[in-house]
Amino acid sequence: PDDENILTHPDYIDGNPDLIKPKKLLNPVKASKSHQELHRELLMNHKRGLGMESKPELQRVLEHRRRNQLIRQKKEEEEAKKLQSPFEKELLKRHQRLDQLEKEQEKQEEHAPEFIKVKENLRRT
């Protein structure tokens, strides 16, 4: 009997027909068709015992998109190489040659004795 006094009862239970009774709000996520379909699919897969060892559909779709994007990117690079003019090709060759020469000079400077390095620095100043 004491529990009934502690709990409060809503006012709309008294049966007054003029009052508007509140309705429970719908969760927009759960009310969406895509969520319901996904939930139904998950329940069916769970009943069949599927889904635990296989990848989820979202992961499969994302991997498929990444794969297609990489293929598309490689094709674009190949097309760009094919469309290079002779001038651009020559510039690229010269740039590679200069990079190679710089690397060789750095290697030679690293193996040179210390007094030669100091002498070169003195000449520069």
CB 10 within 8 A of CB 20: no
Is the per-residue pLDDT at 14 higher than 80? no
Question: If we measure between CA atoms, which residue out of 21, 25, 18 comes closest to residue 10?
Answer: 21
In a domain, 30, yes or no: no
pLDDT tens per residue, range 19-61: 787 888 888 888 889 999 999 988 888 888 765 567 778 888 9
- Is 14 domain-assigned? no
How many domains, the chain?
1
**pLDDT score of 11:** 55
Predicted model pTM: 0.30
Domain range enclosing 119:
56-123
